[in-house]
Amino acid sequence: MNVNTKKRNTLVYYAMTMAAFGGLIYWVAQAGGGLELNRVIRLPESSQSEGFLDTLFFNGRHALAILLIQILIVILFARICGWISSRLGQPKVVGEIIAGILLGPSLFGFYFPGLQEAVFPPGSLPNLQFLSQIGLILFMFVIGMELDLGVLHTKAKDAVVISHASIIFPFTLGMILAYFMYETYAPENIQFISFALFMGIAMSITAFPVLARIVQERGITRTRLGTIALTCAAADDITAWCILAAVIAIVKAGSLANTLFTVALAVSYVLVMIYAVRPLIRKAAHRYFEKKQLDELTIVMVFFVLIASSYMTEVIGIHALFGAFMAGAIMPEQDGFRSRFIQKVEDVAVVLLLPLFFIFTGLRTQIGLLSDLRLWITAGAIIMVAVVGKFVGSALTARFVGQSWKDSLSIGALMNTRGLMELIVLNIGYDLGVLSPEVFAMMVIMALVTTMMTGPSLNLINRIYR
């Protein structure tokens, strides 16, 4: 049988099959119509519209359709603002934070309220929030895996001293500032200790991912300054997240007995993760170490640990993000195991899901609430306290442990970078009701300003000490 005959026979078979079964389907449909005689038929709401365009409009207002168009707008806008930010010598995260603020009520919602409500209707925000939380969980998992605990062991002495000084200085100043802000700005139903602790931890955060990217872009990763700065930031991250977990436990628990119970559960969780789960993961990952390739079973195991760890910390009361961070930190380090997983997770988390968090934060940030001079003076005081506590505290301590003035000031400038990590803390405080909308807006501005200061501050220090 030649090729043409085979093609012709195939075509004839296809036509006869479609005609026969199509006729049978038509007959069943017609016969089935007679079964509707004793029923009251109600058409779906989408089919009751007057015309084709009305149907399209109805479909476009479906929750999934709204979420998809939001994702498209967020990705496009975040990439544009990130590109502009990088062209201006700033980290991309600065542009992405600004993108979130611009799409929120501070600009887009102020000038185009109807259009913003159509794109970001209030009923759709919970979907956006949950999806952004998934992105944060994956991102914190990556941050945990990027921590080089070996460096912390070898360079722990100076790094821990500088890191802890860069936490205790701004933490204390933040609590002092909270003392003067509490009566005017704290929500009515929030205790002073809860408000003060959150102000302290918000002042103390350093954005390890942003700092790492700045160090990498400036080509100082393998220099003495770069190594110390990265080690300090890593130690700062671990310490600050442990303090944050304790602060959340205190805020949620309320009474001293409940707080102690929550802290005991959190400590037990950490010990189980380090001394029980970590060895099990290493044993289970032997398939990867033998083949140098991730198989499906290994991937399932890692994601199971990630989700289970996040679930446990959420149930304990110290937030799912801490569980994701801890899950990343206990992953095996040898043979490129972590780097393989970072490649798989980072693109989805950073490119697709993380910008949703910036937009959700921007939708919460109402700069228009800062409507008088007193509020802007308070915002300026927050920025000043944040810079003095973090920059000066880190720089003076680095100088005390033997660093040169140039390196000390550079470490202070890098540790003053807050970026995304600050926004995560602020959103946790906002969700818990500890931060009012006005304080939240002021703190977001502080996070943006201190992150934008890093590059120019390093350039100025390099000029002075040329």
Q: What is the C-alpha separation between 136 and 369, in angstroms, rounded?
A: 27
Q: What is the C-alpha separation between 77 and 351, in angstroms, rounded?
A: 12
Confidence band of 17 (pLDDT split at 50, 70, 90): very high
Torsion of CA 58, 59, 62, 65, to 10 degrees: -140
108-464 carries CATH number 3.60.21.10: no
pLDDT number for residue 19: 93
Most distant CA atoms of the chain, gap in Å? 93
**Section 208-236 average pLDDT:** 75
Per-residue pLDDT tens over the stretch 187-206: 888 889 889 999 999 998 88
What DSSP line would sit under 359-386, residue for residue? HHHHHH--GGG--SHHHHHHHHHHHHHH
Q: What is the C-alpha separation between 461 and 405, in angstroms, rounded?
A: 10
Q: What is the C-alpha separation between 110 and 365, in angstroms, rounded?
A: 12
Per-residue pLDDT tens over the stretch 21-36: 999 998 998 888 777 7
Which 3 state secondary structure label does DSSP give 125?
helix
**Section 122-142 average pLDDT:** 85
Question: Taking 80 as the threshold, does the pLDDT of residue 160 lie above it?
Answer: no
**Section 286-303 average pLDDT:** 76
Per-residue pLDDT tens over the stretch 55-114: 666 666 778 888 888 889 888 988 898 899 888 888 788 888 888 888 888 888 888 888
* Cβ neighbours of 119 (radius 10 Å): 16
Q: What is the C-alpha separation between 420 and 200, in angstroms, rounded?
A: 17
Per-residue pLDDT tens over the stretch 257-272: 777 787 788 888 889 9
Q: Provide the mean pLDDT of the chain.
A: 83
* Cβ neighbours of 368 (radius 10 Å): 13
pLDDT number for residue 52: 61
Per-residue pLDDT tens over the stretch 372-420: 889 999 999 999 999 999 999 889 988 888 888 988 899 899 888 887 7
Q: What is the C-alpha separation between 115 and 83, in angstroms, rounded?
A: 25
Global confidence as pTM: 0.77
Judged by average pLDDT, the poorest of 79-83, 130-134, 249-253, 276-280 is 249-253
pLDDT number for residue 155: 54
What Rg do the C-alpha atoms of the chain give, in angstroms?
27
| Residue % of the chain over a pLDDT of 70 | 90
